[in-house]
Structure 1
Amino acid sequence: MSNAVLGGTSTAPFNAWRATLCAACASLIGIGFARFAYTALLPAIIGAHWFAPSTAAYLGAANLGGYLAGALGARVLSRHASNVTILRVMMLLVVAAFFACAWPLSFLWFFAWRFVSGFAGGVLMVIAAPSVLAHVTPSRRGIVSGAIFAGLGLGIAASGTLVPLLLRQGLAQTWIGLGVLSLVLTTVAWHGWPASAPATAATPAHPKHRPAVPLTLRSLYIEYALNAVALVPHMIFLVDYVARGLGKGLDAGANYWVLYGLGAIVGPLFVGHLADRIGFARALRVAYVSQMFAVILPVLGLGLPALIVSSMVMGAFTPGIVPLVLGRVNELLAHHPASQKGAWSTATTSFATFQAGAAYGLSFLFAATSGNYSLLFVVGGVAMTLGLAANLVAAKMARA
């Protein structure tokens, strides 16, 4: 695929695939490594007596809190520095956080650096992909955004494969190894970012020319937030459900996490291609329906084949829902490109808020019900059903 096909009007030379690689590197280290690697590292951190189990859980939450702060602060940073500068600094912050976490000097030290890595990840999520997609023709944005967020999926897969290999060298060495790898990826991405936004991106928005968009866009924020809730049961409890809930042991739980990671790798590419074929609005509904059924499969008593399907489908949409929502935001605001970044920041913030809230809420529910796994997956299914209903109602009202 040539740059002429992918690229839009730009005031600077634009290498489409190199820019896509840069954004994929950003999602890989900022979200894939910085957030999901901690899931695999948590037992080792507790086992090495770096921190007590309850304290280590708070350290995991620090990254989610930082991510929310980054999603909120990205627009403020954009007013004071160029996108390229922000992206480079945020990737370097993630690198620094990995190296800093190799030395657990104190709880506050570790908490601060986990928060910093989350903050950088939130900023990268808001700025990286839009910086590239602004240069891409609408007909190819699905596959390009899918390629970008495949980096997130690779990070999820690496948490179940690469991290255990690094842990053979030691816990501190694992953090350093992730830092070195992230530094290499940052170097790869350093000079590939688009130098400036295309001329069309500077076009001022005209609010009075948006008749039906506000309702559909507000609904999209709600749908994305509810989708975040639906993803949490698998993200947090899948391995524990297989290992302890089904009595299959930790090795079996790890195998299902690898399946989840494999789904996460192919998911963004698949949904991106689907969106290019049928449009982002229809592709979103396919995603909602697929997750609505997949998230409750573990509680239907259909056996391990159903659990395999559930793991891979929910893994696919953990990163896969991101390019669909981003593409839908850009689609709804196609005539108001100056508003796209702000809308995407709002969507990311709603997702981060509900994801963090669901993580705490479902953990509390799990403890309060003495380990009722089924209830967690049912909550996820209800959330996704509400998201689909919001989508359908908003579409009907917009046509009325």
Structure 2
Amino acid sequence: MREQMQRMKVLGAGILSLILVMGVARFAYTPLLPLMQAQAGLGVAEGGWLAAWNYAGYLTGALTASLISDLVLKDRLYRIGLVVAVVSTVAMGLTTDVFWWSVWRFVAGLSSASGMLLGTGLILNWLIRHQHRSELGIHFTGIGLGIAGCAVAVWVMSQWFDWRTQWFILSGLGVLLLIPAWRWLPPPDRTSFTVGGQKMEDNPPGPAFMRVFMAAYFCAGVGYVVSATFIVAIVNKLPGLEGRGALVFLVLGLSAVPACIVWDFIARRIGYLNSLVLSYVLQIAGILLPLAGGLAPALLGALLFGGNFIGAVSLVLTMAGRYYPTRPAKMMGKMTIAYGVAQILGPAVTGWLAAGRGSYADGLYVAAAVMAVGTVLVLVLKGIEVRENAAIAVAGSDPV
């Protein structure tokens, strides 16, 4: 009973940390973007560049995470990241200068990486060490809750408060999230054994698998970032959907809440790579549906997109933890570098396209095309996995 209570507190710390670093510090920008454009003079292209700076910070954090092996240092940086998430959120309301907004979006990206990668790695390490199922579905509900919570908060607050005040209120919410996210995660255990005395050993895939895996995850990053960043602004500009972007973003967030748990069950039945293929295909549909016109396709698209972009992330990072149980954040960081590069290029290209045509919608077509390439790459991964497993089986059967 005590062990189960401790498990719930650890998972609770992870959920609340993701609501803070991914919801408040990162995704609050998406529903606030139209308001900042209307009230603070933020231009269309500049909106794309601010998103790119956020993802540049995330990429920098992912690179740092991939280089760190020491669990104590990871734990320290995770906690610093929680504080930085709150500081960067406060700072967004203290200026109207695009340069400083860019700086603080970059800093917010750093905090997102600390919570998403270091925090997730610490939690997965704790679950494996304490012989719980090494799945992250419950943990990743924090991302969907963060998205949905920020969408609701901005929609409600917009009735009374301007863009600046909303950043300040979100900062106060961030402080409330920080306290349990900090206190409920225990210090890491640096031994290489589980509590039952079993040795934790890494079993990494081959180099060819890793190269294709990172390329496929890059494609997922492009597919994710355009919709996640610009969906509110895109929907608001579609005929007859003015002001409906926040509702679509809310549905996106709500669909992401149970998605990772659902994908855990799917992966148990059909395997992780088959699950990734299915997730990619459904995400393509989710990206394109809002462009069909009308509220119903936009909501259905948000439902599919929200349920599948986070599913892909959860599946990939869980696979990383299974390959490297002793140091999951190391491979998570490498995978997220690929995802992070996509998150820099995607908003920048979308902003550039929007500057010429006055709409972010063209970015959705680009994102869907890249996701189609990613689907093919995951199918290639299945072939590589079969060959690698066959080679291991042959090597194991050779006489010594």
- Counterpart code for 1:124: G
1:45 paired to 2:36? yes
- Counterpart code for 1:387: G
- Counterpart code for 1:388: T
Q: Mean alpha-carbon deviation: is it higher for 26-35 or for 104-113?
A: 104-113
Equivalents in 1 of 2:284, 2:358: separation in Å? 25
> Offset of 1:177 from its aligned partner?
1.3
Contact kept? 2:222, 2:370, Cα under 8 Å: yes
- Counterpart code for 2:280: Y
Equivalents in 1 of 2:10, 2:99: separation in Å? 36
Structure 2: gaps (5+ residues): 388-400
Contact kept? 1:71, 1:125, Cα under 8 Å: no
1:130 paired to 2:118? no
Equivalents in 1 of 2:293, 2:41: separation in Å? 40
The equivalent position to 1:192 in structure 2, one of 184, 196, 221, is: 184
Listed one character per residue, the Cα deviations across residues 40-88 of structure 1 (whole Å, up to 9, x for unaligned) are: 2223333333655554543333222211111112345665953332221
Listed one character per residue, the Cα deviations across residues 219-250 of structure 1 (whole Å, up to 9, x for unaligned) are: 221111101112234224433443323x1132
Listed one character per residue, the Cα deviations across residues 201-230 of structure 1 (whole Å, up to 9, x for unaligned) are: 797978xx76x5333232221111101112
Listed one character per residue, the Cα deviations across residues 134-162 of structure 1 (whole Å, up to 9, x for unaligned) are: 122487333xx122221111121123210
Contact kept? 1:65, 1:356, Cα under 8 Å: yes
Query: Partner residue of 1:398?
Result: 385
- Counterpart code for 1:384: M
Equivalents in 2 of 1:269, 1:121: separation in Å? 21
- Counterpart code for 1:166: M
Query: Partner residue of 1:99?
Result: 90
Query: Partner residue of 1:33?
Result: 24
Contact kept? 1:50, 1:104, Cα under 8 Å: no
Question: 4+ runs of 1 displaced by more than 6 Å?
Answer: 201-206
Query: Partner residue of 1:348?
Result: 336
Equivalents in 2 of 1:140, 1:317: separation in Å? 22
Listed one character per residue, the Cα deviations across residues 286-327 of structure 1 (whole Å, up to 9, x for unaligned) are: 21222233333345x586544332211101223232211111
Contact kept? 1:84, 1:193, Cα under 8 Å: no
The equivalent position to 1:389 in structure 2, one of 368, 372, 376, is: 376
Change (3 A) 1:294 1:188: same
The equivalent position to 1:73 in structure 2, one of 47, 59, 64, is: 64
Query: Partner residue of 1:378?
Result: 365
Equivalents in 1 of 2:384, 2:94: separation in Å? 55
1:286 paired to 2:273? no
Equivalents in 2 of 1:242, 1:382: separation in Å? 20
Q: Within 5 Å, which residues of 2 pair with 1:306-321? A: 306-321=297-312
SS in 1 for 2:240: coil
Contact kept? 2:121, 2:321, Cα under 8 Å: no
Change (3 A) 1:199 1:81: closer
Query: Partner residue of 2:394?
Result: none
Contact kept? 2:235, 2:298, Cα under 8 Å: no
- Counterpart code for 2:149: A
SS in 2 for 1:141: coil
Q: Within 5 Å, which residues of 2 pair with 1:300-311? A: 301=292, 304-311=295-302
Change (3 A) 1:78 1:213: closer
Query: Partner residue of 2:139?
Result: 148
Contact kept? 2:48, 2:348, Cα under 8 Å: no
Structure 1: gaps (5+ residues): 7-13
Query: Partner residue of 1:11?
Result: none
Change (3 A) 1:38 1:297: closer
Query: Partner residue of 1:223?
Result: 216
Equivalents in 2 of 1:248, 1:154: separation in Å? 28
Number of residue pairs matched by the alignment: 380
Change (3 A) 1:293 1:165: closer
Q: Mean alpha-carbon deviation: is it higher for 175-184 or for 66-75?
A: 66-75
Change (3 A) 1:221 1:89: same
Q: Within 5 Å, which residues of 2 pair with 1:171-190? A: 171-190=163-182
Equivalents in 2 of 1:366, 1:59: separation in Å? 14
Contact kept? 1:256, 1:311, Cα under 8 Å: yes
Contact kept? 2:148, 2:254, Cα under 8 Å: yes
Equivalents in 2 of 1:201, 1:127: separation in Å? 20
Query: Partner residue of 2:396?
Result: none
The equivalent position to 2:264 in structure 1, one of 251, 256, 272, is: 272
- Counterpart code for 1:238: I
1:243 paired to 2:236? yes
Query: Partner residue of 1:110?
Result: 101
Query: Partner residue of 1:260?
Result: 252
Equivalents in 2 of 1:129, 1:329: separation in Å? 11
Equivalents in 1 of 2:118, 2:71: separation in Å? 14
Equivalents in 2 of 1:60, 1:302: separation in Å? 25
Contact kept? 1:104, 1:110, Cα under 8 Å: yes
How high is the TM-score relative to the length of structure 1?
0.84
